[in-house]
Structure 1
Amino acid sequence: MIQFKLEGEFIPLIALLKATALVQSGGEAQSIVEEGLVKVNGITEDRKRLKVRLGDKVEFLSQTIEVI
């Protein structure tokens, strides 16, 4: 599990995927979200601009990101 320390109120989903190095670019992050390959709190998410907040869990490629 990857723990990501949130510095503000939220982080956009695609920015979180880039910040944790699970993707190489913003374009790649947008594509995988649009393809339905990312889950947020157990629900498949297709909104690229989703605001990920404290306590959320994001799953992608058998990795889990916990926002702390």
Structure 2
Amino acid sequence: MKKIEIKTDTINLDQFLKWANLVSTGGEAKVIIQAGKVKVNGEIETQRSKTLTSGDKIEYGGTNYQITSS
């Protein structure tokens, strides 16, 4: 599992995908989220504005990521 540190208390799912360099644009994030290709804490998430916090786990492209905050 890869740990991705954010600098804020929360981050939206689409912003997280860009922050972690998993997508290059917000439009790309929107498409993959709405297609059901991203899981948050083991559940498929289709809302790009889903709020994530430290400890949340995201799965995309067969790789798992965990959010940490400073």
- Please say whether Structure 1 and Structure 2 have the same fold, judged by a TM-score greater than 0.5: yes
Unmatched runs of 5 consecutive residues or more in structure 2: none
- Which TM-score applies when normalising by structure 2? 0.91
Large movers: runs of 4+ above 3 Å:
none
The whole-number CA distance in structure 1 between the counterparts of 2:8 and 2:66 is: 15
The whole-number CA distance in structure 2 between the counterparts of 1:26 and 1:7 is: 19
Structure with greater strand share of residues: 2
- The one-letter code sitting in structure 1 at the alignment partner of 2:26 is G
Deviation per residue, 1:4-46 (Å, 9 max, x gap): 1121110110011011111111100000000000000000000
1:33 to 2:27 alignment = no
Unmatched runs of 5 consecutive residues or more in structure 1: none
Give RMSD over aligned pairs. 0.8
The alignment of Structure 1 onto Structure 2 pairs a total of residues equal to 68
- Which TM-score applies when normalising by structure 1? 0.93
| Corresponding residue of 1:15 | 15
